Amino acid sequence: MKVMKFGGTSVGSPERMKGVASLVTKSGEPTFIVLSAMSGTTNSLIEISDYLYRKNPEGANEVINNLEQKYFGHIDELYSTDEYKQKTRLFVTEIFDYLRSFTKGLFTSFEEKNIVAQGEVLSTNMVVNYLQEQGVKATLLSALDFMRTDKNAEPDLPYIKEKLSAIMKVHEGYQIYITQGFICRNAYGEVDNLQRGGSDYTASLIGAAINAEEIQIWTDIDGMHNNDPRVVDKTEAVRQLNFEEASELAYFGAKILHPTCVQPAKYSGIPVRLKNTMEPDAEGTIINNTLVRSKIKAVAAKDNITAIKIKSSRMLGASGFLRKVFEIFESYQTSIDMITTSEVGLSMTIENCSHLSEIVDELKKYGTVSVDSDMCIVCVVGDLDWSNVGFETLATDAMKDIPVRMISYGGSNYNISFLIKEADKKRALQSLSNVLFN
């Protein structure tokens, strides 16, 4: 069985929903479908929550009413029979009445998660009703019945596998199984969400739980490109990536995928394929455990980076210095992206600057601190094992006209990273494309 995940733009209109229905029924084989909320819906639900946090029920109700009317319009476009129009209209009315119930009482983060979850609940019900109207044997499985996180907010894999296996046995014989992406319950049974990777993460977890043949992530781009097509001319889709290469690219800026979402698939040995809803016959990108030797695959860039440098003679031959520095970042729950060291200096980059001033104040106890903002990490990914003589030289040659603040190489066999000014990003990416791919 294949698992197919469709994002918000793929189910962003009645026409797109019909397209998804056509895609998932094409093979005639049993398929497990994971759906995001219709594009724009989650933003509206967050806006509703924002009004309720600010104790403005009138503002919340206005957004609720506008969104409800939008969905009623979608219903008229999507269904051809009065039976399914009426059935779906009643369901949508129930959901929006439920949303209105939050305007009458105490509002906390618990209520917000319940509100935000309704986007996926709406899209999955609409699609399963459309499939049933078309005569397809389809069923809806609520993600809240089997998708759970543990007390560390990490997916509870044994629980997910056990519950989903039992549910699938009860629902044997269907062609299409549909569930919600993103949403889950936490260890205490409350409605929650997977946060990182959202629906992609759901698809990967389900694929691992049912030992799927393949996990397909359908978006609005034909796979992962060898550079950022929004910035660079003449980019191409990469046809194959190792799981490690895909994670590096996702972490360092490739928005098509979240770095954590492929981990369950990787450990289960299940290939992940990135496909384009607008061009369903395009090959896309396959991600698996195969490593193509001696090849540079792609380039990605991560914006909004801040570099912090601490210089201290106390570092010289001192044990425990690095531990003290890292404990400061840990205490403020701020992760480090890149790090380079010398005898008396330490440079690090961070993306989350919410506690920058406190971190700098703490670091000043140990040395002189300087900060560079508006920076960008450019990452070159492929088989960059140190035994591949000259590969790092190709990347550095492409950057010869770009001022480089830091270089990170050797921490992974799959990437070499450069820290540059954001203003130089376009020039750097284009130069790397020209040297490495064109």
pLDDT tens-digit readout, 123-132: 999 999 999 9
Res 390: pLDDT: 76
Higher local confidence (pLDDT), 224 or 64: 64
* Residue type present at position 235: T
Question: Average pLDDT for residues 324-346, to the nearest whole number?
Answer: 92
pLDDT band at 255 (very low <50, low <70, confident <90, very high): low
* Structural domains in the chain plus CATH codes: 2-220 (3.40.1160.10), 296-437 (3.30.2130.10)
pLDDT band at 254 (very low <50, low <70, confident <90, very high): low
pTM of the model: 0.88
Strands (DSSP E) found in 210-352: 214-219, 240-242, 272-276, 285-288, 296-311, 336-341, 345-350
**Which tokens go with 124?**
């999955």
pLDDT tens-digit readout, 263-319: 899 999 999 999 998 888 888 999 999 988 889 999 999 999 999 999 988 766 677
Please state which of the ranges 389-393, 395-399, 401-405 shows the lowest mean pLDDT: 389-393
State yes or no: pLDDT of 381 exceeds 80.
yes
Q: Which residues are annotated as a binding site?
A: 5-8, 42, 120, 219-220, 230
Res 342: pLDDT: 84
Measured between alpha carbons, how far is 35 from 188 in angstroms, rounded to an integer? 25
Question: Average pLDDT for residues 182-194, to the nearest whole number?
Answer: 95
Measured between alpha carbons, how far is 94 from 84 in angstroms, rounded to an integer? 15
pLDDT band at 167 (very low <50, low <70, confident <90, very high): very high
What is the four-CA torsion angle of 245, 249, 250, 255, rounded to 10 degrees? -140
Res 420: pLDDT: 97
Q: What is the mean pLDDT of the chain?
A: 93
- What DSSP character marks residue 10? T
Res 306: pLDDT: 97
The number of beta carbons lying within 10 Å of the beta carbon of residue 272 is: 28
Cβ(127)–Cβ(20) under 8 Å?
yes
pLDDT tens-digit readout, 194-236: 976 689 999 999 999 999 999 999 988 888 899 998 899 889 9
Question: Average pLDDT for residues 26-46, to the nearest whole number?
Answer: 95
Q: Which residues are annotated as a binding site for substrate?
A: 42, 120
Res 316: pLDDT: 64
Res 17: pLDDT: 97
Among 362, 357, 359, 242, CA closest to 290: 242
Q: Which residues are annotated as a binding site for ATP?
A: 5-8, 219-220, 230
Percent of the chain whose pLDDT exceeds 70: 98
Measured between alpha carbons, how far is 172 from 169 in angstroms, rounded to an integer? 5
Backbone dihedral angles phi then psi of residue 422, each to the nearest 5 degrees: -60, -35
Question: Average pLDDT for residues 401-407, to the nearest whole number?
Answer: 95
Full 3-state SS string of 149-201: ECCCCCECHHHHHHHHHHHHHHCCCCCEEEEECCEEECCCCCEEECCCCHHHH
Q: CA 437 from chain center: how many Å? A: 26
Res 317: pLDDT: 65
Res 261: pLDDT: 82
Please state which of the ranges 61-70, 218-227, 239-248 shows the lowest mean pLDDT: 218-227
Res 429: pLDDT: 96
State yes or no: pLDDT of 350 exceeds 80.
yes
pLDDT band at 184 (very low <50, low <70, confident <90, very high): very high
Bridge partners of residue 299, in order along the sequence: 380
Q: CA 149 from chain center: how many Å? A: 17
DSSP 30-47: -EEEEE-PPTTHHHHHHH
State yes or no: pLDDT of 53 exceeds 90.
yes
